């Protein structure tokens, strides 16, 4: 079950709580080393990237801590990064008018 439906189903035990919903450690992706190549594979085209120096304030690492929702509601990610990106890509391609 997806996290949103799970929270609604268990609204009494989730009432007043704030959950971080993300991929956790197992599904973290390096935007430069992993995300790009996965997207190129899905898109079937090379995607040129220009690398620049880190700027002050750039977040170099972010991993969602999903331990709270795992502990309270037993939720964890159920699809892989590649599958999730594929579904997102498909949705965006089918809804291009939303981005015009």
Q: pLDDT tens-digit profile of 26-52?
A: 888 777 778 889 999 999 999 888 888
Residue 19 has pLDDT above 80, yes or no: yes
Determine the pLDDT at residue 34. Answer: 84
Q: pLDDT tens-digit profile of 52-93?
A: 888 998 887 888 899 999 999 999 999 888 998 999 999 999
Determine the pLDDT at residue 6. Answer: 93
Structural domains present in the chain: 3-99 (3.90.25.10)
What is the pTM (predicted TM-score) of this model?
0.69
Residue 69 · residue 78 · CB < 8 Å: no
Residue 9 has pLDDT above 80, yes or no: yes
End-to-end CA distance of the chain: 32
Rg (alpha carbons) of the chain, rounded to whole number: 17
């Amino acid at each position: 079950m997806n996290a949103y439906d799970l929270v609604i189903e268990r609204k009494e035990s989730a009432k007043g709580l704030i959950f971080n919903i993300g991929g956790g450690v197992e599904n973290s992706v390096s935007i430069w080393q992993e995300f790009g190549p996965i997207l190129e594979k899905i898109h079937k085209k090379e995607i040129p990237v220009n690398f620049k120096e880190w700027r002050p304030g750039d977040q170099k690492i972010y991993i969602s801590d999903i331990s709270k929702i795992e502990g309270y509601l037993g939720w964890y990610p159920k699809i892989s990064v590649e599958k999730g990106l594929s579904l997102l890509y498909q949705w965006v391609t089918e809804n291009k008018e939303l981005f015009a």
